[in-house]
Amino acid sequence: MVDAEYLKEIDKARRDLRALISSRNCAPIMLRLAWHDAGTYDASTKTGGPNGSIRNEEEYTHGANSGLKKAIDFCEEVKSKYSKITYADLYQLAGVVAVEVTGGPTIDFVPGRKDSKISTREGRLPDAKQGAPHLRDIFYRMGLSDKDIVALSGAHTLGRAHPERSGFDGPWTVEPLKFDNSYFVELLKGVSEPLLKLPTDNALLDDPKFRPYVELYAKDEDAFFKDYAESHKKLSELGFIPSSSSSKVNDGTILAQSAVGVAVAAAVVILGYLYEARKK
């Protein structure tokens, strides 16, 4: 049950996640953890989704989840301090914070997800070697749209592919710890070594319904941030119906969280600048 004490723990966990993610530069893998826990949802059978089941060895050893045990262990450091919080909420909160501390949009977070120990069979997550039909099969199964597919793909602005995990190697952008619209900018430039372009990335350019969103987000970062925040929230709440007791934190708290997020993002940018200056 989401009561006042639960909301207090969520607030404290959010602060701890900010510090952990900023200090260890682990935003990309924390965001991937949140996505992969949620991305198993099937709207027709109401199975899978953001229920914390990715902590099960049966699931985190799926090929698509290679390397995510590291993020699960990071989250366990926070979970050990705030036992009331479900794994399902913690993993999605980590994804929200990962976007926030790297300069991305503030994503509305509503707690109250329940944990499950039941894992779905392997094969529900996107395969980077596939094209547009596969992307639609995966995301439509979750109940998401073409706009959601393109907006969520923009999170590849963070992180890089690792050959031991996916068979691919390299970052998608020149600043893989900064959340912005550069994924779409680079996508429209075409081949630009050593940046990565997966078959699923190229599908966004080749498909006539996907491409207009790519072009919009490349020229208008505000439009991308708005749509991304909405799509991320949808993904993080698949199959989750908030109860009246898990109502949103009041507006004042949300404003305070946004202000802190801006301050943290600014600090990350400044530290990065100082680091580059010292290197020169």
Contact criterion met (CB below 8 Å) for 99 and 105: yes
* Separation CA 150–CA 154 (nearest Å): 7
Please give the structure tokens belonging to residue 36: 């992969």
Amino acid identity for residue 4 in this structure: A
The Cα 217–Cα 205 span in angstroms is 12
Q: Nearest to residue 104, comparing CAs of 277, 211, 255, 264? A: 264
Residue 235 C-alpha from the chain's centroid: 9
State how far the alpha carbon of 45 is from the alpha carbons of 40, 49, 84, 120, 154, in Å. Answer: 11, 11, 29, 11, 28
> Which amino acid is located at 195 in the chain?
L
Active-site residue 232, yes or no?
no
The active-site residue, picked from 36, 62, 156, 232, is 36
Active site residues per annotation: 36
